[in-house]
């Protein structure tokens, strides 16, 4: 036989110069992948972020919130792990939508196993009834479906007014990253506040 088996190398292939690595030890070291450990997802170590929704476009706000909930802004992002932080959204009742969505966008809900209970309402009606649900529905649609998505959704805190009860966690304001391409200075400020730099 020619080639390597485990840590032993066949003399014929070694004499021919085909094998460069004995036991492929060094080659395995170069191809190691990173995977976060359980302590990397500890909720006590998570960073809190705050977004002011006043006048901000709903879809752009939801994209930023879902990315920070998942941890896509971190170099240690892993799709199957909860490596993100907590996101607090304030002024959810003043979020903006484009076009005619205020009167045309419909929300549907119903009671399971109850035929004939489906209800519909427009975005403006939902804004008057439960304004927090507009942002919650938009962000939840951008999260993974299943257990991981349900866990990530519990890290989203939405409030209709400008006050929130999470001041003790000293959340980092990331509102400036919504409507435009973030500049290096903005990213550096957020990374410094989080402790990455």
pLDDT single digits (tens) 26-79: 544 555 678 888 888 888 889 999 999 999 999 999 999 999 999 999 988 999
Q: Could you give the percent of the chain with pLDDT greater than 90?
A: 64
Average pLDDT over every residue of 122-140:
97
User: Which pLDDT does position 9 carry in this prediction?
Assistant: 47
Q: What is the mean pLDDT of the chain?
A: 85
| 110 within a domain of the structure (yes/no) | no
Identify the top-confidence range among 26-30, 31-35, 132-136, 191-195.
132-136
- Nearest to 171, CA basis, from 46, 81, 67, 80: 46
Do 7 and 72 fall within a single domain? no
Q: What DSSP element (H or E) covers 52?
A: strand 48-52
User: Which pLDDT does position 37 carry in this prediction?
Assistant: 87
Which segments of the chain does DSSP mark as H helices, in order? 11-16, 25-30, 58-70, 101-104, 123-129, 132-140, 147-153, 184-194
Q: Reduced to 3 states, what is the DSSP secondary structure of residue 175?
A: helix
- Nearest to 92, CA basis, from 43, 156, 159: 159
| 148 within a domain of the structure (yes/no) | yes
The pTM score is 0.76
| 13 within a domain of the structure (yes/no) | yes
Do 24 and 91 fall within a single domain? no
| 107 within a domain of the structure (yes/no) | no
Residue that wins the pLDDT comparison between 32 and 158:
158
pLDDT single digits (tens) 92-121: 999 999 999 999 999 999 999 999 999 999
Do 136 and 187 fall within a single domain? yes
Do 6 and 81 fall within a single domain? no
Do 78 and 3 fall within a single domain? no
User: Which pLDDT does position 192 carry in this prediction?
Assistant: 74
| Count: domains in the chain | 2
User: Which pLDDT does position 22 carry in this prediction?
Assistant: 54
| 55 within a domain of the structure (yes/no) | yes
The answer to whether the CB of 105 falls within 8 A of the CB of 95 is no
| 4 within a domain of the structure (yes/no) | yes
Do 73 and 152 fall within a single domain? yes
- Nearest to 19, CA basis, from 166, 27, 181, 33: 27
Do 148 and 78 fall within a single domain? yes
| 151 within a domain of the structure (yes/no) | yes
| 21 within a domain of the structure (yes/no) | yes
Do 162 and 182 fall within a single domain? yes
**Which pairing describes strands 156-158 and 86-90: parallel, antiparallel, or unpaired?**
parallel
Find residue 89's DSSP bridge partners.
51, 158
User: Which pLDDT does position 14 carry in this prediction?
Assistant: 43
Do 44 and 80 fall within a single domain? yes
Domain that holds residue 144: 38-97+130-194
Do 153 and 74 fall within a single domain? yes
Do 20 and 42 fall within a single domain? no
On the question of pLDDT at 130 being above 50, the answer is yes
User: Which pLDDT does position 169 carry in this prediction?
Assistant: 95
- Residue 49 region, left (φ>0) first, then alpha (ψ -120 to 50), else beta? beta
Task: Kindly report the CATH number assigned to the domain that includes residue 73.
Answer: 3.90.1180.10
Do 58 and 18 fall within a single domain? no
User: Which pLDDT does position 16 carry in this prediction?
Assistant: 43
Q: How far apart are CA 19 and CA 28, in angstroms?
A: 15
């Amino acid at each position: 036989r020619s080639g390597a088996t485990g840590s032993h190398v066949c003399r014929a292939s070694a004499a021919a110069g085909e094998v460069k690595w004995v036991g492929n030890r060094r080659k395995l070291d170069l191809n190691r992948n990173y995977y976060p450990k359980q302590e990397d997802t500890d909720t006590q170590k998570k960073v809190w972020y705050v977004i002011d929704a006043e006048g901000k476009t709903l879809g752009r706000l939801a994209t930023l919130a879902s990315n920070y909930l998942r941890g896509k802004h971190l170099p240690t992002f892993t799709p199957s792990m909860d490596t993100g932080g907590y996101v607090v959204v304030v002024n959810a009742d003043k979020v903006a939508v484009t076009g005619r969505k205020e009167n045309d966008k419909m929300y549907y809900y119903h009671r399971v196993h109850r035929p004939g209970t489906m209800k519909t309402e427009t975005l403006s009606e939902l804004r008057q009834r439960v304004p927090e649900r507009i942002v919650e529905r938009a962000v939840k649609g951008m999260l993974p479906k299943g257990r991981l998505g349900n866990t990530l959704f519990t890290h989203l805190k939405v409030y209709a007014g400008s006050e929130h009860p999470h001041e003790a966690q000293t959340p980092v304001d990331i509102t400036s990253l919504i409507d435009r391409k973030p500049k290096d200075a903005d990213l550096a400020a957020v990374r410094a506040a989080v402790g990455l730099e």
